Structure 1
Amino acid sequence: MPFTLPDAWTWDMWFADDGTDYHVFYLKASRALHDPNRRHFHVTVGHAVSDDLRTWREVPDALIAADGPAFDDFTTWTGSVVRGQDGVWRMFYTGTSRAEAGTIQRVGLATSTDLYHWEKQPGAIAEADPRWYEKFDSGDWFDEAWRDPWVFEAPGIPGWQMLVTARSKQGAADDRGVIGHATSKDLSTWTLQPPWSEPGAGFGQLEVPQVAEIDGRHVLIFSCLAGELSASRRDSAGGVWAVPIDRPEGPYDIRRAVRLTDESLYAGRLVRDRDGRWYLFAFLHVDPAGEFVGALSDPLPVSWGTDGNLRVADGRFDHIHNGALRVPAGTPNVT
């Protein structure tokens, strides 16, 4: 059964495995708000544990907004967790401030020795660099996108890589979604890099990015709803998207993206169990009537289709797997 809280909506999530329990961290807001559209600015980072990825037990929340003034005194949003060579767990998360009305997004860092007790480190560690990325003062989008950090190690590349939901400073305003990129040697000090994808692929934003290697093949997933597709893609639907990639490090050719799910699910995460099986998790976004749900899905097995694209293996989304994006004339190649 989906993980549903009676008194709170849950949505974007990220996972950690301590060898005994699986931990899921998720965005959480009280149902007393009544309107789920209000949840984004009344949010905490919830926490639950499981020994089988199916039955979850809620434990105390992991993060809340900081006391002001601070870059994260308004919201703490989506992130990821890794464990360094020093044994310390690090949570990279998105923060926004009240002084900026939540319009500017930055990445923060919290640390833990046990995944239950988290200590925020002072200040933001990364924000959009105007050399490559759109800033809020451009007036071309509703916020300054620099969120959903996914941190990982790529074989053959020294240090750590961070993928970020970001927007290019170039291109049509509704078609600037890119995968932002930063690097670090120590998980504390980060250097901003050019994006690992190009604008013009049909997306205004590419939310909650993640890379994974499944059965020896690499994939990038992200999420985008129909309303954030570019005008040239507006006749398509949204959901969780997948892009076959040659290697975990970019650049990524986002033009190859196909939908992995429809909009009933959103903010997908790929999780491997201890037997090596891969599953998709996402939050239950809308029901058949279009009403917001706000719960954590059951694990959905994934596999590679004969067309070379990742699929949900139980067949429930087979009706959308021919929905590859059309590449408009003049779209630049990613090199």
Structure 2
Amino acid sequence: MLKLADHWVWDSWYATDDEGLHHVFFLRASRALQEEGRRHQRASIGHAVSRDLADWTLMPDALVCDDAPAWDDQATWTGSVVREDSGRWRMFYTGVSRAEDGKVQRIGSAVSDDLVSWTRLPGPQVEADPRWYERYSADSDWFDEACRDPWVYREGGEWRMLFTARTEGLEPARERGVVGRARSADLDEWEVLPPLNRPDALGFGQIEVTQLHRVDGQWLLLFCCGRGEASDARRALGEAGDNYVVPVELPLTGVDIAKARPFAHESLYAARLHDVDGRTVIIGFRNIEDGGFVGEIADPIPVRWDGERLVRA
């Protein structure tokens, strides 16, 4: 468990170095804010290390907001870490700015030789392309412009990125969440692509914190949707926001989001799949319990794919 006495901890992402040490990067904000709803616009990226994903040693923070004026001068949010062909580490992350009151999200990156000291690169590198993705305006029927939570991976001879996005349309707002896509040859220049899925009656207002991971031979797309942001059809099934998994095939050309099934847990959110000691575990933060926000990273839970759902092992 990763619990800080003076900070809330929530979304997290992971990397494993050459010595087998697991690094977690996570969003953190001071509990002195008192109201947990204020944490998002004060978030920075923390860092800790562990041998088992349960006993953590806190490290220096990885990134904080940039000096104004900048595209990420309000807060830094969720991302992912990959290793370049040169051996250097690259972290992609989300940023929001004061100029837009934190309502417009963009994606940039930073580099490190040791996963500890990070250097921010010029950005942003990815923004919501209005050809396919919803942009924020004063009369929007949603509360922000979604372009966040980059998940970067190799596919064939190029890099691919999945990100949280929304599309415009006549469908209800809580059905228009999509998985955004982009591609790059070098991790620096990115081409934004059409979304991976279409709005669906069994869809979501937002498809957050996506990840691709292979479990028991099956590639899975893992994501989450906040409470109250699932479609009416999902609510009718008794779902009120959760972590979801849908099986996919690579190369990834599309996904039927209606086939997503929840992973049963009392409060786990923004979960990630990670391999440790030859087994796959799911790990995320404790969200709402007994009506209040917890804000700490839970211990890992061993999981398996039963052919239809992700379940506890």
Structure 2: distance between partners of 1:292 and 1:113: 35
1:104 aligns with 2:107: no
In structure 2, the residue matched to 1:250 is 253
What is the DSSP-based 3-state SS (H/G/I as helix, E as strand, rest coil) of the residue aligned with 1:40? helix
Structure 2: distance between partners of 1:263 and 1:144: 29
Q: How many residues align?
A: 307
Alpha-carbon deviation of 1:239?
A: 1.2
Structure 1: distance between partners of 2:98 and 2:231: 30
CA offsets per residue over residues 205-234 of structure 1, 9 Å max, x none? 000000111121111010012311123323
Structure 2: distance between partners of 1:74 and 1:50: 30
RMSD of aligned alpha carbons: 1.3
1:167 aligns with 2:170: no
Q: Provide structure 1 residue ranges, at least 5 long, that are not aligned to the other structure.
A: 314-335
1:119 aligns with 2:105: no
In structure 1, the residue matched to 2:311 is 311
Structure 1: distance between partners of 2:39 and 2:107: 20
Determine if contact 1:160/1:184 at 8 Å carries over to the other structure.
yes
Structure with bigger strand share is 2
Runs in 1 of length 4+ with deviation above 6 angstroms?
none
Structure 1: distance between partners of 2:119 and 2:140: 35
Opposite residue 207 of structure 1, the aligned amino acid is E
Opposite residue 187 of structure 1, the aligned amino acid is L
Alpha-carbon deviation of 1:52?
A: 2.0
Determine if contact 2:229/2:240 at 8 Å carries over to the other structure.
no
In structure 2, the residue matched to 1:36 is 36
Q: What pairs with 1:202-281 in structure 2 (closer than 5 Å)? A: 202-235=203-236, 236-247=239-250, 249-262=252-265, 264-273=267-276, 275-281=277-283
Alpha-carbon deviation of 1:51?
A: 1.7
Structure 2: distance between partners of 1:97 and 1:208: 20
What is the DSSP-based 3-state SS (H/G/I as helix, E as strand, rest coil) of the residue aligned with 1:108? strand
Opposite residue 79 of structure 2, the aligned amino acid is G
Opposite residue 175 of structure 2, the aligned amino acid is D
In structure 2, the residue matched to 1:73 is 73
What is the DSSP-based 3-state SS (H/G/I as helix, E as strand, rest coil) of the residue aligned with 1:280? strand
Structure 2: distance between partners of 1:277 and 1:81: 21
Alpha-carbon deviation of 1:172?
A: 2.4
Q: What pairs with 1:276-287 in structure 2 (closer than 5 Å)? A: 276-287=278-289
Structure 2: distance between partners of 1:116 and 1:176: 37
What is the DSSP-based 3-state SS (H/G/I as helix, E as strand, rest coil) of the residue aligned with 1:181? strand
What is the DSSP-based 3-state SS (H/G/I as helix, E as strand, rest coil) of the residue aligned with 1:110? strand
Opposite residue 249 of structure 2, the aligned amino acid is D
What is the DSSP-based 3-state SS (H/G/I as helix, E as strand, rest coil) of the residue aligned with 2:144? coil
Structure 2: distance between partners of 1:29 and 1:250: 37
In structure 1, the residue matched to 2:197 is 197
% identical aligned pairs: 50
Opposite residue 176 of structure 2, the aligned amino acid is R
Alpha-carbon deviation of 1:246?
A: 2.6
